[in-house]
Amino acid sequence: MLKLLKLLKDGRFHSGQDLGVALGVSRSAVWKQLQHLEAELNLPIHKVRGRGYQLAAPLFLLEESAIAERSQGEHWPALIFDSIDSTNAQALRAITEGQAAPFLVLAERQTAGRGRRGRQWVSPFAENLYYSLVLRIEGGMRQLEGLSLVVGLAVMRTLQSFGVADAGLKWPNDVLVNNQKIAGILLELVGDPADVCHVVLGIGINVNMQATTEVDQQWTSVRRETGAAIDRNLLVARLNHNLQLDLERHRQAGFAAFQHEWEQAHLWQGRAVSLIAGVNKIDGVVLGIDGQGALRLVVDGVEKSFSGGELSLRLRDDS
């Protein structure tokens, strides 16, 4: 089925006979595979008598060689899957199996993609970026301080390089455009964070997705913002490069080196917000972040700092 998809990915018409010859199967077998593609991967295929079959839009399938050709700096080896439960889950399995870091896990589709706080991450086939980078961290907690915020900056700059000029950050792990989510970050740790551990930097970016009924919040994509389809291999290469630069800077100088830059990019700076922690809600005004990446709020006239993986930030109605 995927061999057929690779023949069709250019978005041009291909006759059933030509496809059958290329695959070594009958035209009726081609027809069955096309039906399976539409049903299994939700890919619209145009069928025109006398012209053949055409994908509704060209696909940029992920290929390690294409990423390497477009890369600057170090090339991280990539494990690329057609379909997987979650790139973060696979990354954690690969760590357990002894895969040497750094390495990437990429997928065309996730069947159980997840975001922060146990939420589903909608993952249609070959439209968006489902990306997990595994790093080995030595030197204790300082190497982890503010790490997810550093990743957010790298993602934001990558999106801006593709023309998404209004991309900005929302504490702790979201990238927004006009209050619509375009990317999210999920970090997971294995090992002893005070000594030696592995960290999985999970990144989901809405790239070429134009419509879906599955997302339960306001969203946008690179294609929606720019009007152009994006080569996801180039996106991976640029993201890799930006991460390499920022991760090295973070390793040498710590998160404090990014604090001002991050606050400048924070879309909710100075806004009235509600911080949600389980069933508890704390109302305050965003002051910024501290040198470890914790959120600074003015709560009832008093400055307080908050950090933790289960916190969620919402704009207040009176903001």
Residues marked active site are found at: 116, 181, 314
Q: Measure the CA–CA gap between 172 and 298, rounded to whole angstroms.
A: 17
Chain centroid to CA 86: how far? 12
What are the residues whose beta carbons fall under 8 Å from the beta carbon of 304, sequence distance 6 or more? Answer: 284, 296, 297, 298
Tokens coding 229: 């389809």
The DSSP 8-state label assigned to residue 84 in this structure reads B
Sign of CA dihedral 22, 25, 31, 32: negative
**For the chain, how many residues are written?**
319
Helix axes 232-253, 147-161, angle to 10 degrees: 140
Q: Measure the CA–CA gap between 174 and 154, rounded to whole angstroms.
A: 12
Query: Closest Cα partner for 137 from 87, 97, 101?
Result: 101
Q: Measure the CA–CA gap between 198 and 237, rounded to whole angstroms.
A: 22
Chain centroid to CA 214: how far? 17
Tokens coding 201: 């930097």
